[in-house]
Structure 1
Amino acid sequence: MTKQRVVVTGYGAVTPLGLNAETSWDGIKNGRSGIDTFTKYENADFPAKVAGEAADFDPADFMDPKDARKMDRFTQFAVAGAEMAVKHAGLDINEDNASRIGVWIGSGIGGMDTYEKQFRLYEKRGYRRVSPFFVPMLIPDMAAGQVSISLGAKGINSCSVTACASGANSIGDAYKVIERGDADAMITGGAEAPLTEMSFAGFCSARALSTNPDPATASRPFDKERDGFVMAEGAGILVLESLDAAQARGAKIYAEITGYGATGDAYHVTAPAPEGEGAARAMQQALDQSGTAHEEVDYINAHGTSTEYNDAYETTAVKSVFQDHAFTLAMSSTKSMTGHLLGAAGAVEAIFAVKAIEDQLMPPTMNYENEDPACDLDKVPNKARSASVTTVMSNSLGFGGHNVSLLFKKFV
């Protein structure tokens, strides 16, 4: 079987930095934070006081309000991102090609806001007051389902649910669908709307969230004073196509995806494996699959959550894989500006990886002030850097021991 080359022809995003990919990327380039004080649950007195909210998002800008009311916020994000991505790609979905265009969009949590609201209704007023759309709004696969319905894409329709690796796994799985010839194009990525009362309660109880009340400095990956991640919401959606299909329709190609590594830690439900052993295997898989030498990688968009073990172990994993070249390449965390979009993080960061190649620019790690000897690589501190960027790796790690590495290259 001849493997198809797979390219990126479009992208769309909803993030705390902006309601499209270009505005979000402009924020990244300029070191702007999308994190702000979060007052929705002020009375709950959570120790976490900040979040990355897509504050001005209006689903009516992207879909019929009647349809939007039957969707959880995470699904609304996905539909909006997909609409933008398909338009950006100039991809016309019609009866002639619909069966060869699929959708693969992940979510780590799904419709948490729907669950909380409907459960409260049930407690107060009984089962008859629960919405008949409760289950379709709740389940994580509905982002992919509603995008398929909205756009008329009739190919494979699926969803990867792997916690904070969901978006990256979905992109990798979609890439494989095209590579083996089962689709000509895939609309893929991740969506998450986790800024809910129970999400805050759960992560605060686990002591995973930053308690720094200053939104400008709370997310500080790799910094010695980091104290947890900042929760955020949004979606990142890419259009992937086979090279043959993209060239046949004269599509603009932004990058090529050439590698996908996916491994399991088999270690702990929340903590990463010691020294990032599982993450290292995912990175090496992506390189091997791509046929890319270590020294060809210019930049890594790190998972970089701003938590103690993740940042240290990911650094160790990079050093174990890249050896001496680890100290030559650059690795930054854009979560310092977006916060952590959980199941959407890897998808948004995949877009940033493509934009790094497109603009020949390495995004910064903002709020890096205090050196941590455990995180001793080039983190592109506090200011974006113009550089030759031809090969970019994007890492995503999730609760349950999920590790994903995606490899993007400049198309030639």
Structure 2
Amino acid sequence: MKENKTVITGMGMINALGNTMEESFHKMIEGASGVRPITLFDPSELETKIAAEVDNSFLEKAKELIKKRERGKMTRLTQMALVAADEAVKDSGIDFNSCDKSRVAVILGIVTTAYSDTEKEQSENNSIVKSMPNAPSAWISIRYGLKGPNFNVSTACASSAYAIALGQQLIHSGFVDVVITGGADSHIQKDYIKGFNQIMTLSVKNETPETACCPFSKSRDGFVMGEGAGIMILESEAHAKKRNARIYAEVGGCAITSDAGDITAPEADGVMMAKTMTLAIDQAGVNPEDIDYINAHGTSTYLNDKYETMAIKSCFGSHASDLYVSSTKSMIGHTVGASGVIEGIVTVLTMDRGIITPTINYKEPDPELDLNYVPNLPVKKEVKMAISNSFGFGGHNASILYKKYEGE
């Protein structure tokens, strides 16, 4: 049977730098920071008082798209997911009424719907529906009348990357033709910030929020919490070509693994990180030397940045020094369950536009970390193949290999 290639035909995202894909990517190229003092609640009692919040102007778009009665059953986060989905569907040009809707799936990476104390104070109506982790995928399925598989994946920071990998597998197996995939997340809530402070993973550079997140730098002291949503439209190559769709890229290879070690810390020396990248390369049927760029997990924590660097060296050998490696989180913080897809979209746009987004705030190199982290400024570069890494609490690892689409 002929292999079912998986291609990307539409994308949409919301994050601290913008409420659309184009706005976000433009600001990333500029090296902007979306980190500010927290405004969603009073953080005065917390060690960390900064985060990368989404501008609530996206809610105006949500009002245009979603009926008032339905909005009353959704959290702010679920509305964020639907706005990103609307952008991706429109970007793809797909008409679901011309598709077999039983062969269209919705798979999202969702850790929480962020039904926060602030939202509960506004209204506790429909609390069950608002708090269901499967609510965002269900609402997207309902909005477009899609009858195929519809579920969420919860693997911490790797959730939406797992969703992409599962979507690719459903298409590869011939089970579906189209997958709406991605994720949404917001952990900018008092209890979550307090909890992450307790395990000392968040930056406490409250006086300088815009420079607080500094992946791969010697002065890094933890990640900055972010929020956002990202959606990709995946299709089989045959389905996309049949409707003459514009194709951004191919999902060439995916790998998901587990450290089976510590519940929060990555495995020492990045052994499984390296294994995951290797498996993605093998599934794609390419060589390590074919990879031009890595969108790193790059959290700005001591262990992740150290072990991810070690993993890249282990996987790529001498080619590691030729790679471009950058961290989107330096600009928009850690969007947790949404990070895999948002960073995947950035990776695809990097290939599409021929420009690599920088790792900002790289002012003090760490002698232990000596790769090309694209410091502070973008680099114009043709990228034909790239990997996006996502590594989550619980030992969840995901590497997605994206290939520039060149047809048959």
TM-score with structure 1 setting the length: 0.94
Q: Which residue of the partner structure matches residue 183 of structure 2? A: 190
More divergent stretch after superposition (94-103 vs 13-22): 94-103
Q: Which residue of the partner structure matches residue 104 of structure 1? A: 107
| Per-residue deviation, 1:367 | 0.3
CA distance in structure 2 between the aligned counterparts of 1:337 and 1:114, rounded to whole angstroms: 25
Q: Which residue of the partner structure matches residue 325 of structure 2? A: 331
Instruction: Please tell me the residue identity of whatever aligns with 2:272.
Output: G
Alignment of 1:195-344 (within 5 A): 195-213=188-206, 214-344=208-338
CA distance in structure 1 between the aligned counterparts of 2:376 and 2:141, rounded to whole angstroms: 40
CA distance in structure 1 between the aligned counterparts of 2:98 and 2:185, rounded to whole angstroms: 30
CA distance in structure 2 between the aligned counterparts of 1:92 and 1:366, rounded to whole angstroms: 39
Alignment of 1:1-400 (within 5 A): 1-42=1-42, 44-55=44-55, 56-58=57-59, 59-94=62-97, 96-108=99-111, 110-114=112-116, 118=120, 131=125, 133-213=126-206, 214-400=208-394
Residues 160, 341 of structure 2: 8 Å contact kept: yes
Q: Where do 5+ consecutive residues of structure 1 fail to align?
A: 122-128
Cα pair distance change 1:106/1:115, threshold 3 Å: farther
Cα pair distance change 1:216/1:297, threshold 3 Å: same
Instruction: Please tell me the residue identity of whatever aligns with 1:21.
Output: M
Cα pair distance change 1:117/1:249, threshold 3 Å: closer
| Per-residue deviation, 1:135 | 2.1
CA distance in structure 2 between the aligned counterparts of 1:95 and 1:141, rounded to whole angstroms: 26
CA distance in structure 2 between the aligned counterparts of 1:291 and 1:248, rounded to whole angstroms: 25
Q: Which residue of the partner structure matches residue 126 of structure 1? A: none
Is the counterpart of residue 411 in structure 1 residue 408 in structure 2? no
Instruction: Please tell me the residue identity of whatever aligns with 1:340.
Output: H
Residues 219, 226 of structure 1: 8 Å contact kept: yes
Residues 183, 230 of structure 2: 8 Å contact kept: yes
Residues 295, 386 of structure 2: 8 Å contact kept: yes
CA distance in structure 1 between the aligned counterparts of 2:133 and 2:167, rounded to whole angstroms: 17
CA distance in structure 2 between the aligned counterparts of 1:193 and 1:61, rounded to whole angstroms: 22
Q: The residue matched to 2:294 in structure 1 has which SS?
A: strand
Q: The residue matched to 2:401 in structure 1 has which SS?
A: strand
Residues 357, 374 of structure 2: 8 Å contact kept: yes
Residues 215, 327 of structure 2: 8 Å contact kept: yes
Q: The residue matched to 1:112 in structure 2 has which SS?
A: coil
CA distance in structure 2 between the aligned counterparts of 1:389 and 1:117, rounded to whole angstroms: 43
Residues 106, 143 of structure 1: 8 Å contact kept: no
CA distance in structure 2 between the aligned counterparts of 1:71 and 1:328, rounded to whole angstroms: 46
Residues 153, 162 of structure 2: 8 Å contact kept: yes
Cα pair distance change 1:31/1:61, threshold 3 Å: farther
Residues 29, 363 of structure 1: 8 Å contact kept: yes
Structure 1 runs (4+) deviating above 4 angstroms are 114-118
| Per-residue deviation, 1:227 | 0.5
Q: Where do 5+ consecutive residues of structure 2 fail to align?
A: none
TM-score with structure 2 setting the length: 0.95
Q: The residue matched to 2:402 in structure 1 has which SS?
A: strand
Q: The residue matched to 1:216 in structure 2 has which SS?
A: helix
| Per-residue deviation, 1:279 | 1.0
Residues 88, 231 of structure 2: 8 Å contact kept: yes
Cα pair distance change 1:130/1:217, threshold 3 Å: closer
Residues 114, 134 of structure 1: 8 Å contact kept: no
Q: The residue matched to 1:23 in structure 2 has which SS?
A: helix
Equivalent pairs counted in the alignment come to 402
